[in-house]
Amino acid sequence: MAARPDTERPDTGRSGTADRRADDRLAVVTGASSGIGAATVRLFREHGWQVLAVARRQEKLEALAAGTGASFLVADVTDADAVAALAARVDGLGGADVLVNNAGGALGSASVEESDVEDWRAMFEVNVIGTKRVTAALLPQLRRRAATAGVADVVTVTSTAGHVAYENGGGYNAAKFAEHALVGALRLELNGEPLRVVEIAPGLVKTDEFALTRFRGDRAKADAVYADVPDPLVAEDVAEAIVHAVELPAHVNLDLVTVRPVAQSAQHKLARGPLTPRS
C-alpha cells in the first residue's frame, strides 16, 4: 500500500515545504523491539524515513538498529521519567513527523470473575496510561514539525478487542476499549490543527511474542490461537497499513482502519482449515 501519486494538486504530502527533504521525516515508534513495532520500523526505513525506535529491551533495539539504520532509545512508556527523556530526545532531533503508539499487550485469558487484578492494572498502564503519557509528551514536538511540514500524525495501534468484547478477554477488552476512546477524544481535541489522528485496529495477528506473553510462555496455548488458521495476519501487514496511512496526502485522514485476515470475519467468526469457494 504505497502512497498514491497526486498529479492534480500541488504537493501537500509529507514534504510540506520546499526545504523538507524526504529523509528528514522522523517517525517515533514505541514497542519497537519486536512484532508490529519492529516491522513498522523496518518499513519506515525502507521508505526513506528517519526512525527513533523506542522499547524496553536494549539488545533487541540494538539488533534492529544494526539491521535498519534506525536510531533507538531504551524507555518504558509506563515510566514518567523515561517518557520525559524521550520527549527531550525528540526535541533535540527537531521534533517528529509521526508518533506510532504501538507499545501494549495482553496478559492472561480468564473470566472477569477469576482474572488477576494485577494483570488488568498492568494492561491499563501500558495500553492506556502509556499511550496517554507518550502522546501528551510528544504533541509539542509534533506541532513543531507540523508548523513547517504542514502535517504531523499520531497513529495508535489498538485492537479489534477494543471494539467487540469476547469471553475471557475482559481485561484486555477493557484496556483496548479505553485506548480506543482516548484516540477518539484526542481527534476531537486536535480539530483545527494540522494533526492527523489515526487508529489502526488489527484482528488476529500472528507474531512471535503476543500470544506467548499473554499465556506466560505456554507455547501450546499460544500456538493453539493460530492453529489451522489459513494465512493469519503477520506484523508486516499491519506495518503496511500504518505507513500507508501517514504517506497519504496531508488532507486525507484514515480515522479508523480495521485490519483482519480473510479467515476472520468477526471476533467470534474464525475459519480454520482451507478457504474454499462454495460449489
The DSSP line for 177-209 is HHHHHHHHHHHHHTTTSSEEEEEEEE-SEE-SS
Residue recorded with cell 517517525? 27
- Is residue 163 classed exposed, middle or buried when 0-12, 13-18 and 19+ CB atoms within 10 A define those classes? middle
CA dist 45 and 54 (Å) reads 15
What cell numbers appear for 148 in the block?
A: 513547517
Q: What is the DSSP letter of 2?
A: P
Spatial CA neighbour of 56 closest among 75, 42, 39, 35: 75
List, by residue number, the catalytic residues.
172
- How many Cβ atoms are within 10 Å of 48's Cβ, its own excluded? 11
Contact call for residues 133 and 176 (beta carbons, < 8 A): no
Long-range Cβ contact pairs of 66-71 (< 8 A, separation 24 or more): 67/42, 68/41, 68/42, 69/45, 70/41, 70/44, 70/45
What contacts 74, CB < 8 A, 6 or more positions away? Answer: 55, 56, 57, 58, 61
